[in-house]
A and B are shown apart, each in its own frame.
Chain A
Amino acid sequence: MSAPLLEAQNLSLRVGGRTLVRELSFRLGAGEVWCMLGPNGAGKTTFLHTAVGLREAQGGALRLAGRALVDWHATDAARQRGFLPQTFHDAFSASVLESVMLGRHPYLSRWQWEGEDEREIALAALAAVDLAGFERRDVLTLSGGERQRVGLAALLAQDAPLLLLDEPVSHLDLHHQVLVLEHLGELARARGKGVLFTVHDLNLAARFASHALLLTPQGVVRQGPIGEVMTEAALCAAFGHRVTRLEAAGRTLFVPE
C-alpha cells in the first residue's frame, strides 16, 4: 500500500495565541472524499492553508504523498495537490480560458507557451463545471458563482492527485452545487483522486463525503467515516446548536432546530 495522499500527525494550529486544532492525526487515501465541518473561526481555512503550504503549523507534521510538506519543490507540489481558495480577487481583466489554463502552469517548461493540448484540457474542465462556451468571457464580468466555477475548472485542469477545496460550493446555486460535488466524487471513484473540502451544508456533506473531519471550538477534531462522525450529539457539541438527524428519501438529512 502506497503512502496516503495527505497525512497529518499530531498537528497543532494556533492563530493569534488561540489554539484552533490540537494534536490532529489522520490519513487521507486515494479515492476518499473528506469533508471538513466546523463553526466559523474553528480553523477550517487555516488547516487548508497549512496543508497547501501557505502557512506553517505550530506543531506536528504534515506529509504529502509520504514526504514532509517543506521538502516539496514548489512545482512538484503543484503537480501533487491543487487548492481552491475561498474567494477570488481579480484586479485585472482576463479571459476565462486564460484563467483556466493557469492550472497547466506547473506542467509547462519555462519557455513553453500554452498550446492546443492546454486549450483542450481547459475546455474539458470548463465543460465539467457547466461553463462550456464561456471561454472568451472576461472574468470581471462573471457572477460570483460563475467565477467560483472558473476557479474550479482551473483546479480540474491542474489535475493533481489531491484536491483541497475551501468552500467550493459556497457561491453556487442548488443545481451546480450537486453537479460540482458529484464530479469530485466521480474523480475520486474513477481516477483515485483524494478530495478534502470544507462546507457548511451538512446535507451536502453527508451525501457526498465518505469521511469527515469535525472541528470543534475546543480544538478537538473528530474524524473518521462520515456516518460515525456526523452524529446528532457531535454536531450539536461542535456547532452549539441542536441538530436532528433524519432518514428520508433514501438519504441522511440534518435539520437544525
Chain B
Amino acid sequence: MRRALSIWLTLAGVALAAFAFALAAGSVRLAPLELLQALSSPGDSLTGEIVMRLRLPRALAAFAVGGLLALAGALMQVLLRNPLADPYVLGLSGGAAVGALGAMLAGLGAFAANLGAVGGALAANLLVFALARRDFMRRQAFGALDASPRLLLTGVIMAAGWGAVITLMLTLAPEARLRGMLFWLMGDLNGAESWAPAMLVLAVALGATYPVARDLNVLLRGEALAHAFGVRVAPLRRTIYLVASVATALAVTTAGAIGFVGLVVPHALRLGLGNDQRMLLPASALAGGTLLLVADTAARSLLAPQQLPVGVITALVGVPVFMVLLMRNPGRT
C-alpha cells in the first residue's frame, strides 16, 4: 500500500512537470516566471491567452486520452489474459474510424466526424458483445476452457473487417480529404479542445475499476481459479469490458486512433513495478497521460509550425525505450 502510494505520487509529480513543460513549450516559448504569470492572471496578456485558450485545453485532452488508453489497455490485457491485447484489439478503433472517415468522406465537418466516431465505436462495441454474449452472460466459466480465446478471436476478426472498410474508404476518398483522414487514423490532438468528457470518463473508469482491482489480480490467473477463490467471474468480465470500451471510445473520439500507448504503458509498468492491479491501474492512467502529453508537446513543437501526428512520436520514442526495458529483464514478460 505504502509502496503503491509512493509510486503514484512520483508519477503524479512527473505528470505535473510534463504539464509545465507542455504549457511553456511551443512556437512561443515561456520562461517559468512568465508561465506562472500567465496561469495566475490570464486575462491581461497575449501569453495568457495562448496558455489558457490553446495550450492548457490541449494538454488536458492529451493527458486524459493517454490515461484512458493506458487504463483501457491494462484492462483488456486482464480481460483477455493476453499480453498482446491493447484497447483496439476487439475492433473498437476500427468501428470508430469507419464512422469518422465516413463522415469526412461525405464532406461533413469535424463535429460530424466526432459523432461518427462515437457511433462507430458504439456499433463495434455492441457487435462484439452480441457475438460473444455467451462468453459474457453464462453463469460461470467452463473449467480450463477460458472464454478469452474466443472473445479475442471474435474481436480480431471484427477488426480485420473494419480494416477492410477503412482501406476501401481511403481508396475511394478524393485527394483533398485524404490527408485529414490519414491524420485521423494515426491519431492527432490538433484541435482537440474538448478535454472535459475524456477527463471525466477517466475519473469514472478509475473509480469503477479500482474497487475490483484485487479481483482482477485473481482473474488474471484464469477463470476457473478465480471462481474457486470467490470471484464472481462473469459480472466482473462484463464490467471491465464495459469500462475499457467506453474509455477507448472516448479516447478515439477525442484524438483519433493513437496507437502504442495502450499496449506499452501497462507493460512497461509491469516490467518495472510488478503486476498488482491495485497499483497498476492508477499508475497506468498517470503514466499513459504523461507519455501522451510529452509526445504531443514534441509533436507540435519539434518542427513548429509544422505539426506531426502524435501517434508517430509515441511509437518512435516508445519502441526503443520498451525494447531496452524488455532486454534488461529477460525473466519477466
Q: A85-B225, A105-B214 are in contact. Are A91 and B220 (CB under 8 A)?
A: yes
Task: For A93, give its contact among B141, B275, B278 (CB under 8 Å).
Answer: B275
A104-115, CB under 8 A of B: which get 1 and which 0?
011010110100
Q: How far is the CB of A53 from chain B (nearest CB, A)?
A: 6
A47-80, CB under 8 A of B: which get 1 and which 0?
0010011111000000000000000001111110
Q: How far is the CA of A140 from the CA of B144 in the complex (A)?
A: 18
A172 at interface (Cβ–Cβ under 8 A)?
no
A90 at interface (Cβ–Cβ under 8 A)?
yes
Which of B10-18, B125-133, B228-236 sits within the interface?
B228-236
Q: How far is the CA of A110 from the CA of B231 in the complex (A)?
A: 12
Q: How far is the CA of A165 from the CA of B324 in the complex (A)?
A: 42
Contact call A102/B230, Cβ cutoff below 8 A = no
B82 at interface (Cβ–Cβ under 8 A)?
yes
Q: How far is the CA of A111 from the CA of B224 in the complex (A)?
A: 23
Contact call B230/A79, Cβ cutoff below 8 A = yes
Task: For B228, give its contact among A76, A83, A110 (CB under 8 Å).
Answer: A83
B144 cross-chain contacts in A, Cβ below 8 A? 85-87, 89
Counting residue pairs across A and B whose Cβ atoms lie within 8 Å, the total is 99
B78-100, CB under 8 A of A: which get 1 and which 0?
00011100000000000000000
Q: A54-B142, A108-B214 are in contact. Are A93 and B228 (CB under 8 A)?
A: no
Q: Which residue of B lies closest to A114 (CB)?
A: B214
B35-66, CB under 8 A of A: which get 1 and which 0?
00000000000000000000000000000000
Q: How far is the CA of A206 from the CA of B6 in the complex (A)?
A: 55
Contact call A91/B229, Cβ cutoff below 8 A = no
Interface residues on B, range: 35 or more
Q: How far is the CA of A198 from the CA of B227 in the complex (A)?
A: 20
A52 cross-chain contacts in B, Cβ below 8 A? 224, 227-228
Task: For B232, give its contact among A74, A90, A99, A141 (CB under 8 Å).
Answer: A74
Contact call B333/A92, Cβ cutoff below 8 A = yes
Contact call A74/B230, Cβ cutoff below 8 A = yes
Contact call B211/A110, Cβ cutoff below 8 A = yes
The residue in B146, B211, B214, B332 that gathers the most chain A C-beta atoms within 10 A of its C-beta is B214
A113 cross-chain contacts in B, Cβ below 8 A? 1, 278
A203-220, CB under 8 A of B: which get 1 and which 0?
000000000000000000
Q: A54-B140, A87-B144 are in contact. Are A94 and B275 (CB under 8 A)?
A: yes
Q: How far is the CA of A51 from the CA of B230 in the complex (A)?
A: 14
A148 at interface (Cβ–Cβ under 8 A)?
no
Q: How far is the CA of A52 from the CA of B151 in the complex (A)?
A: 24
Contact call B231/A74, Cβ cutoff below 8 A = yes
B166 at interface (Cβ–Cβ under 8 A)?
no
A38 at interface (Cβ–Cβ under 8 A)?
no
A78 cross-chain contacts in B, Cβ below 8 A? 228-230
A88 cross-chain contacts in B, Cβ below 8 A? 221-222, 225
Q: A55-B143, A113-B278 are in contact. Are A99 and B331 (CB under 8 A)?
A: no
B217 at interface (Cβ–Cβ under 8 A)?
yes
A168 at interface (Cβ–Cβ under 8 A)?
no
Q: A54-B141, A54-B142, A82-B228 are in contact. Are A90 and B331 (CB under 8 A)?
A: no
Q: How far is the CB of B263 from chain A (nearest CB, A)?
A: 14
Q: Which residue of A lies closest to B3 (CB)?
A: A113
Q: How far is the CA of A74 from the CA of B232 in the complex (A)?
A: 6
Q: Which residue of B lies closest to A106 (CB)?
A: B230
B75 at interface (Cβ–Cβ under 8 A)?
no
B292 at interface (Cβ–Cβ under 8 A)?
no
The 7 A-B pairs at the shortest CB distance, nearest first, are namely A78-B230, A83-B228, A106-B230, A93-B332, A75-B230, A105-B229, A113-B1
A-B contact pairs, 11 of them (CB 8 A): A49-B143, A54-B140, A54-B143, A78-B229, A85-B225, A89-B146, A92-B83, A92-B220, A93-B275, A93-B333, A103-B229
Given contacts A54-B142, A79-B230, A98-B217, 15 further A-B contacts (CB under 8 A): A55-B142, A76-B230, A83-B225, A85-B222, A89-B81, A92-B81, A93-B333, A94-B220, A94-B221, A94-B275, A102-B229, A105-B214, A105-B215, A110-B214, A111-B211
